[in-house]
Amino acid sequence: MGVAARGWGIDGRTFFWALLSGVLLFLSFPKFGAGLLAWIALVPLLYALQAKSAWQGFLTGFTTGLSATIGIIYWITYVVVNYGYLPIPVGIAAMLLLSAYLALYVALFAAGIIYFHGRGIPRVLSAPLLWTSLEYAKSHLLTGFPWENLGYSQYLYGPLIQMADVTGVFGLTFAIVFINVVIFDVLHFWRSRTDGKQSFKRIKVEIAAGCLLMVILAGYGIFRIMGVEESCNRSPQMPVSLIQGNIDQSIKWRPAFQEETIRIYKTLTLQAAPAGNGLILWPETAAPFFFQDQDEMHREVVSLPRLSGNWLLFGSPSYQRDGAQLAFLNSAFLLSPDGRISGRYDKVHLVPYGEYVPLRRFFPFISKLVEGIGDFRSGPGYEPLIMQVAKAQKLGVMICYEGILPEAGRAYRQRGAGLLVNMTNDAWFGNTSAPYQHLSMTVFRSVENRLYLVRAANTGISAIIDPTGRILARTALFEKATLPGTIRFMNMNTFYSTHGDVFVYGCILGLILIFAISIKKRRSKP
């Protein structure tokens, strides 16, 4: 360990504590860990940052960030090796490169902690502001990568996550970092046996603030759950049936297997269709052909809503003519019970190197990562699809990666959506932690906007989530399955769906303020 640590420019003990913090962060997320660990995961890192220069702090934070991120997104190697057809060493290198980029944010956090502490700004103030602001930047810079932001680790703890309808997931991130700092400061005070009255007073204030924060989180959560459930009971309901075809990704796009795919979905649909006037949901690209072409497979799909008397929402690629060229889109089609196309949504936020290749002219060798998929064009916007039932109801469709984007759920709620739909194909991830992580993040779209969310995944995990973030039903991975249930069309405006990331903007302003104070303090020193 000593040799490796010296390579980082930090001593072995610092390396150990930084690595421990990274492991605890990784174990805070599914499928290998538990969210409770997030509340102590940063304590070892804070311990490692004592009496360090900003550069040493940067390296220490980078160690924590790299070890945590490798554990969280190791599955990228699986994807690019199995479906990008790259050699394993290249797949590992691609994963490490992205992990190193994401680790920079933790490195900046650690360096910032040391800088502010050296200017007399308490960690309990600087740390939550820093982490929250940097996490927001990570979620938006370079198309953004909000995968498993810290607050998402709490998706199973109902009362704690209800604050997301005010602050979004970033409010929970702030709270987790705040409590980590309080725990560290208490342990540090106890270990150093500091007798100063001022230090003891500060620790008591921190403990009181930490306890008050947790009481507010839990109290608001319990109160809000009761109010949301009461509103649910007054809302119109509809039966739904989620269909999980479990189609092998390696053969899904073969023309010879397309008819078999439709046969599988048709059989499962007719077995589990609601009695009528319900919604049947298939996953992303469940129809692996151009549904808009009026061929035999098109007619097979159209026959299902007519036979069952239900609405059918499913994914299929589509195309538009752009002069002599064809533009391809990742789409969702809504069919009415009489088989008519009631609406189509084209995916807005595409996945780099999964659905298109940025800077293809400069990196032509990367084109093989999307072999068999082709480059897609982005859709025009998050426009709901309309179901004409007892009265018009709007569906907010989020395809695959869009389910982890708060702005997608907000846009739909602002446009009057009463139900969120996430259709995805997580077969790419195999039996890694990624499908579990993907599900954990979509839970927050329900809480932020107080809407039911139904999620159909080709190989799992399909789920029905209520407006409090409770997973009412779910399937297992890699099995043919149907998931019947009942949803309610909600109409509850929330602070977050109306005003967005106001809390984060406040954190950024707070960070700017303490930075200005630190500069003033530095100048005032002789």
- Could you give the residue numbers annotated as active site? 284, 347, 400
DSSP state for residue 352 in the 8-state scheme: B
Strand-pair category, 325-335 with 392-399: unpaired
Task: Kindly state the tokens that stand for 42.
Answer: 């940063």
Nearest to 472 by CA among 462, 458, 482: 462
Task: Kindly state the tokens that stand for 308.
Answer: 């069952």
Q: Identify how many contiguous H helices and E strands the chain contains and give both numbers.
A: 17, 12
Helix axes 197-233, 169-192, angle to 10 degrees: 150
- Give the 3-state secondary structure of residue 107: helix
Task: Kindly state the tokens that stand for 284.
Answer: 């992303």
Looking at the DSSP bridge assignments, the partners of residue 316 are: 331
Angle at 329 between CA 433 and CA 420, to 5 degrees: 55
Distances (CA, A) of 101 to 18, 141, 143, 170, 360: 17, 11, 14, 20, 21
φ, ψ for residue 485 (rounded to 5)?
-175, -170
Sequence-ordered list of residues with C-beta below 8 angstroms from that of 66, at least 6 positions apart, any chain: 22, 99, 100, 103
Residue 396 in contact with residue 414, Cβ under 8 Å? no
Task: Kindly state the tokens that stand for 366.
Answer: 């990367």
What is the total residue count of the chain? Answer: 526
Looking at the DSSP bridge assignments, the partners of residue 345 are: 332
